[in-house]
Structure 1
């Protein structure tokens, strides 16, 4: 089941966010940074975000077996300075590691893309350049690498992230 997130989902989304980062970025980001991620802090961030949702965006959640949140996706207009108003963005898509490789990610991705297609002609996303697992997932889903890259930082600028942009045509999905 995939549905729009509500404020009561903040803790479930936060757990997915932290646990997926800890698993997906193991070996790609410093262990002490990943182990220091806080579900409590993430819950506060998500509670604020869900209490004041963007009118032009969507946060979707999915559950696995049972009713607990197993994954989420966030979408909206592109944040890139070179984007046209017809460009949306898949901001994030994460699943609990126990939900990987069960089809939930593909279903959540497809639902997010259909949501974006209602407003935008093209979508972009950013992915860690060294995250080959995620890059394979996106490429299998029809995303193509874009020549643009960027450097972001986390942990108050102590950790540098090199990201690559991917692009997806939404014209046939609406």
Structure 2
């Protein structure tokens, strides 16, 4: 008995099977390559976020440290001035600390979000103003409440940016402030409910 199946049909079926198998293998390779590319992109994005976080954290630490040193030296200068001591060495230290502080402020300005930059800029202006008032003899209180308030606001903005748990550092009741951020002594503090 002779077969009625044409010869080309098994050949076409075999070729289709081979093409299907090769197609499935190629599709699997392409799909796996896309998944691997996506995983690499996600890993790179994660590394970039971590690097950005670490750089901001380091910049904030440097800025906080340099501001403390600068502010502390202003306080020392004020005490020397109150005692009518020579301020020559203090002034040299202040100039050096001011440069160091502005370098760290510049780094924060490059890396931080706008709210942090706003408060850091206010801190820099306030410290420069305090130093200028120290030099001309008009600095009354080097550690005034206005400085502390701006300091807390800047620190809270940094904590929010870094996602530090544990809440914010409390602020005293809001009082009217002058253009440099210092508490305006000519105004009375606002009472609750008025």
Q: TM-score, normalised by structure 2?
A: 0.27
Which protein is bigger by CA-based radius of gyration?
A: 2
Higher RCO (C-alpha under 8 Å, 6+ residues apart): 1
User: If the length of structure 1 is used for normalisation, what is the TM-score?
Assistant: 0.29
More strand by share: 1
